[in-house]
């Protein structure tokens, strides 16, 4: 039987980086992680530090009781580590008998190294619901609990040694009716993006990804899973949408799949089922590849738009064919241009392009080709949006990681240093030349303004967004001149940009 004295679990979602000031979606990873523990009889509480960046200590202290078994923290590589460390150290200082557990992407790829931090007791690598439930049973003294070495994905200390149990080689799918949305229900109005009134619910329509992008962690995470995709039946996806719309007032569904369009017919069947049920929601897709859009007909895109789709996030990544081949994007620069022209014929769907810069072996010429492609895409499709070019981050387990090491990269030794390995941070890889660094910084800053995105997307009218629109009006012409000309000299405004980012985070 479960020990009655210790059956409370607190899950904490840490603060994010700069983008976290503009986009704040539900902490779905924490909700999924809670499912099995709740079904096993544990009381789970959730603290989202993004909602209380200045008062999380007070909020966490109010949650912890003498029945609290553990505090679990979801950790992404980059800025969230700084927040996760502060939370973990505070818990261990004030409540030394409460176990601290890290999970999430950073823990998955850096489990043993993470336990060099004294405030972290356990790490869960891979999907978290089943390992967390089993760990809770073990720590609470449940008579039938598995031993540590029998908990998949668990990284733990045994004396002076660190032991790592391999994760289960399968996707972790849970019934949507078991997702504990009630944990975030009181705070639903605080979630969303860009200050809009949309009630956004992220969800999955497919698990996994069959592609092998060399910079991406997904191929490494799914390496031991035989079948790289698990498609959620369209009827279940539509039922999930109906559930969050009816129960929680969802107005927008954001599919956070690694890639939603591996099978075009799967998405089409979901749309058909949404229509059959008479659901009126808007849709956004985080994962779309150029090689997939090449297969979409105009009638298919019309159907997406009619169903409420207003944005496709597309991994263009680079304007250099050499770089596209290096990272296995399975497309050409001409394919990107052709897809963009096709999407321009469907103005109801915004084409939003992702980019990665600073890869090992990338040259200033490659960067300039990316800059030129961005300008071409905007010329052909003025409604398109260009996301900030993300700096390549060498992540253990990814294909390009060995190339990064060969080019002089040394991974951080301390967890604090991982906090600087951020796509939008001042992180500079050892292979950057001074010219590359200046070019990357120029492209990152001016990409916020080159496409006039603040006038293309719906935003709120808070003081922050009024200030951003003012900045866009004043600095926009300078930014567009810099980007079009490729001039990266005297980037004084880059330091102001970094300072503004720090203010937005706080």
Enumerate residues 6+ apart whose C-beta is below 8 A from 153: 124, 125, 126, 127, 128, 131, 165, 166, 167, 168
List, in sequence order, the alpha helices (H) in 230-310: 234-248, 264-277, 290-293, 298-306
**Are 80 and 16 in contact, with CB atoms under 8 Å apart?**
yes
- pTM for the model: 0.93
96 Cβ neighbours under 8 A, 6+ residues apart: none
| Phi and psi angles of residue 128, each rounded to the nearest 5 degrees, phi first | -110, -15
Decide: 272 and 304 in contact? Cβ < 8 Å: no
- 20 band by pLDDT with thresholds 50, 70 and 90: low
pLDDT band at 424 (very low <50, low <70, confident <90, very high): low
Q: 3-class SS at 161?
A: strand
Domains and CATH numbers, the chain: 8-164 (3.40.50.280)
Q: 352: alpha, beta or left, given left = phi > 0 and alpha = psi -120 to 50?
A: beta
* pLDDT at 506 > cutoff 60: no
pLDDT tens digits along 135-164: 999 999 998 999 999 999 999 999 999 999
Q: What is the per-residue pLDDT for 1?
A: 42
Q: Where are the alpha helices (DSSP H) in 356-420?
A: 364-380, 401-406, 415-418
Q: What is the pLDDT of residues 310-343, one digit of tens each?
A: 999 999 999 999 999 999 999 999 999 999 999 9
Residue 452 has pLDDT above 70, yes or no: yes
Average pLDDT in the chain: 92
Q: What band does 438 get if pLDDT is binned at 50, 70 and 90?
A: very high
């Amino acid at each position: 039987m479960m020990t009655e004295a210790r059956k409370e679990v607190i899950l904490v979602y840490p603060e994010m980086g700069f983008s976290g000031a503009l986009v704040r979606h539900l902490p779905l990873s924490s909700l999924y992680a809670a499912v099995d523990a709740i079904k096993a009889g544990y009381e789970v509480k959730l603290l989202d530090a993004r909602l209380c960046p200045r008062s999380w200590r007070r909020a966490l202290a109010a949650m912890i009781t003498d029945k609290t078994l553990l505090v679990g923290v979801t950790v992404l590589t980059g800025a969230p580590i700084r927040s996760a460390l502060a939370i973990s150290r505070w818990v261990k200082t004030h409540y030394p008998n409460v176990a601290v557990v890290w999970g999430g992407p950073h823990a998955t790829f850096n489990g043993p190294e993470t336990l060099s931090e004294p405030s972290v007791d356990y790490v869960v690598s891979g999907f978290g619901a089943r390992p967390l439930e089993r760990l809770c049973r073990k720590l609470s003294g449940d008579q039938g609990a598995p031993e540590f070495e029998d908990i998949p994905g668990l990284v733990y200390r045994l004396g002076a040694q660190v032991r790592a149990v391999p994760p289960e080689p399968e996707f972790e799918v849970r019934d949507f009716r078991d997702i504990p949305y009630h944990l975030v229900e009181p705070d639903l109005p605080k979630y969303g993006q860009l200050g809009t009134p949309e009630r956004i619910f992220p969800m999955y329509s497919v698990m996994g990804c069959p592609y092998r992008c060399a910079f991406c962690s997904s191929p490494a995470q799914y390496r031991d899973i035989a079948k790289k995709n698990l498609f959620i039946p369209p009827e279940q996806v539509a039922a999930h949408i109906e559930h969050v719309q009816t129960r929680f007032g969802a107005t927008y569904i954001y599919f956070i799949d690694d890639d939603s369009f591996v099978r075009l017919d799967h998405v089409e069947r979901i749309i058909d089922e949404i229509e059959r049920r008479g659901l009126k929601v808007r849709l956004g897709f985080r994962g779309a590849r150029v090689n997939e859009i090449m297969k979409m007909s105009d009638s298919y895109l019309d159907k997406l738009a009619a169903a409420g789709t207003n944005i496709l996030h597309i991994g263009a990544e680079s304007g250099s064919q050499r770089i596209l081949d290096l990272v296995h994007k399975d497309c050409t620069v001409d394919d990107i241009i052709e897809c963009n022209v096709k999407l321009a014929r469907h103005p109801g769907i915004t084409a939003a392009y992702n980019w990665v810069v600073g890869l090992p072996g990338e040259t200033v010429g490659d960067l300039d080709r990316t800059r030129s492609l961005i300008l071409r895409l905007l010329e052909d499709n003025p409604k398109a949006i260009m996301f900030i070019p993300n700096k390549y981050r060498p992540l253990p387990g990814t294909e390009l990681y060995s190339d990064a090491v060969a080019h002089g990269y040394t991974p951080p030794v301390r967890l604090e240093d991982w906090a600087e390995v951020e796509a939008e941070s001042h992180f500079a890889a050892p292979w950057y030349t001074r010219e590359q660094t200046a070019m990357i910084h120029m492209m990152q800053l001016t990409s916020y303004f080159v496409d006039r995105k603040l006038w293309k997307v719906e935003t709120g009218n808070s003081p922050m967004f009024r200030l951003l629109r003012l900045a866009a009006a004043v600095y926009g012409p300078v930014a567009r001149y810099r980007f079009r000309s490729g001039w990266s000299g005297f980037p004084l405004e880059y330091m102001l940009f970094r300072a503004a980012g720090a203010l937005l985070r706080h």
